[in-house]
Amino acid sequence: DTWVTLARIAEKTKRLKFGPAVLIPSNRHPMAQASAIATLEQIAPGRLMVGFGTGFTGRAGMGKKPLTLASMRTHIVQVRALLRGDVADIDGGLAQILASGGWLPDRPIDVPIYMAGQGPKARALAKEIADDLISLGGPAEGFAACLVSTNGTVLDDGEDVTSPRASTALKPLVALAYHHRYTTDPESVKALPNGDAWLASVERVDEHIRHLSVHRGHNLDISNGHDALVDVSAAKQMTFTGTREELRERLARLEAGGATGVIFG
């Protein structure tokens, strides 16, 4: 669980800043979300950052499409209102953080709120209701802070992406592209290396539980069986992978383009 894990991080560290990237609004009631944020701020004052997103595997893994930007707006606005100490109308009921003095930080609780967004509408919404942006793959200008979320591994000099170590690290990360294409346009998976075999493997699973199979092990391992077929030969182009010197150069380019930080998996 996100908040249990973050609480353990908060208690085991003293200076590290940390946070979820990203929370999916449909997975928690705004009151539970605001209460968790307030609790972490009480445990580790000034160290929590919070990111929100419309949901990729967090929803596709349950057979759902990503949330609309309208529902994203509603959730973030409600959570921010609660953290300010305001009364918020949530589903026709009035809600407010009611904790007695000393149990949670005094309101307003000012925790940086980030929103993940790729398209122009999502980024316009992030500018309107969030403090800053989480971007996938590349930076965006116009934000005081832009955290680029990416995945990869550091290669030793002379090490190829197909080495046993690198391949083990990279297969779950390269597989993200297969998972994402499958959730948006399954036929487009065939354009990826070995995509025909990957898609054929998925389509052998009963259709009504296919999404459960695709997203098993997402971003972590290849336990679903299909991802063992992923071809990592293009990993340098598909992930944030390279030698130390190559990654330093890529980081410099991200910074020059407006990135202020990297979320690296």
Considering Cα of 12, then 109, then 127, then 24, what sign does the dihedral take? positive
The letter for the amino acid at 160 is D
CB-based contact 251:260 (threshold 8 Å): no
Considering Cα of 97, then 41, then 132, then 60, what sign does the dihedral take? negative
Residue 157: predicted pLDDT? 93
CB-based contact 85:138 (threshold 8 Å): no
- At a CB cut-off of 8 Å and minimum separation 6, what does 193 contact? 230, 231, 233, 234
Strands (E) located in 151-234? 154-155
pTM: 0.93
Q: Which stretches of the chain score pLDDT less than 50?
A: none
Residue 141: predicted pLDDT? 86
Distances (CA, A) of 85 to 4, 35, 93, 127, 131: 24, 11, 16, 22, 18
Quick one: how far is CA 163 from the chain centroid? 28
Residue 264: predicted pLDDT? 92
Residue 151: predicted pLDDT? 95
Residue 138: predicted pLDDT? 85
Q: What distance in Å separates the CA atoms of residue 140 and residue 159, rounded to the nearest whole number?
A: 32
Residue 137: predicted pLDDT? 76
